[in-house]
Amino acid sequence: MDERAVDIFFFTGTGNTLLASRAVAEGLRRAGKTVRLERLEKGFGPCDEEAALGIAVPVACFSTYPFLWEILDSMPEGNGRGAFFLCTMGGMAGGLGRAMKAVLSRKGYRLLGRKDFIMPGNYGRKSTSEEKDRPIIARMREEADAFARALLDGSASWRADSPLSPLFHRLSKSRWPWRLMARLYPLAVERKKCIRCGKCARLCPVRNITMTEYPAFGDRCVSCQRCMAFCPPNAIHVPGKDYRQYRSVEYSDLLSEGR
Ligand SMILES: Cc1cc2nc3c(=O)[nH]c(=O)nc-3n(C[C@H](O)[C@H](O)[C@H](O)COP(=O)(O)O)c2cc1C
């Protein structure tokens, strides 16, 4: 990597992608790079045109969230700058890597490499098993370190996806997987627990939650789990299901990076 500075634009629902972005950033900083982490949901804003670009997102429905693709379309032109991509997932990235490669190439970036990190599942968890999560996160840290070294010495690569990946991606661009997710995972507020702090509404990346007396959900939910993950009294739940709150960073951490 020739660039001396690196800007990593990340989105995280429950903290996993923030942890992976930070782990890669640490590896790059140790080699003397200046690394900034920025929240992708805020858009790209004014960018350092000399810096390499990193994009980091969670896998969702074998791609990533539709609102992130809209933001990614407004990515500044690369003009030959280096760019890398990382995602976090439960185990199957589907069409994400290929679609991201297409966006970065179209925008004129030089592809430096891609890494998919397996992280604890953040969806429909029936237990809060920190003991099970710890080794998964430790492995991600080792792999992030290796990925940073590979980016630095130019040996990082862009893994090819399965031939079915365009199909997965096309599917994720339609509305129905997200509608299905929202139907399978209908979030609701337990009024007895809710302290009406409004954090859920402030954190929702698609502004689907409005605060009246209690939080009210609209029909734009993409099931990113943020509201549920960071609700202080754990008042957001899926009625009839014993799904547990999961987050891998604290609320203060979630908002600590970027502009
Ligand atoms: C709505 C939704 C859809 C998901 N779809 C996939 C998927 O298709 N493949 C996969 O491997 N993991 C999937 N996951 C798991 C997440 O990608 C994984 O837990 C990720 O690390 C979450 O990152 P975050 O905490 O930064 O949001 C999904 C999670 C959610 C909430």
Q: Is 254 helix (H, G, I), strand (E, B) or coil?
A: helix
Residue nearest to atom 1 of ligand 1 (CA): 223
26 and 98 together in one domain? yes
Q: What is the DSSP letter of 22?
A: H
**Which H/E stretch holds residue 53?**
strand 52-58
- pLDDT, average across residues 65-72: 95
CA 193 to centroid of ligand 1, rounded, Å: 27
Residue nearest to atom 28 of ligand 1 (CA): 60
pTM: 0.95
185 CA closest ligand 1 atom index: 1
180 and 163 together in one domain? no
50 and 151 together in one domain? yes
151 and 201 together in one domain? no
Q: Is residue 163 part of a domain?
A: yes
Tens-digit pLDDT profile for residues 143-191: 999 999 999 999 999 988 878 888 888 888 888 888 888 888 889 999 9
For residue 38, pLDDT beyond 90: yes
Q: What is the DSSP letter of 208?
A: -
43 and 119 together in one domain? yes
* pLDDT score for 5: 96
- Rounded Cα–Cα distance for residues 193 and 252 (Å): 21
- Rounded Cα–Cα distance for residues 82 and 59 (Å): 22
120 CA closest ligand 1 atom index: 19
CA angle 200, 89, 14 (to 5 degrees): 20
Pocket of ligand 1 (CB under 6 A): 12-17, 58-62, 88-92, 94, 119, 121-123, 181, 223-225
Helices 66-73, 96-106: axis angle to 10 degrees equals: 20
The C-alpha torsion from 191 through 220 and 229 to 200, rounded to 10°, is -60
Q: Which domain holds residue 209?
A: 175-239
Tokens of 230: 């960071």
* pLDDT score for 83: 97
- Residue type at position 173: K
22 and 91 together in one domain? yes
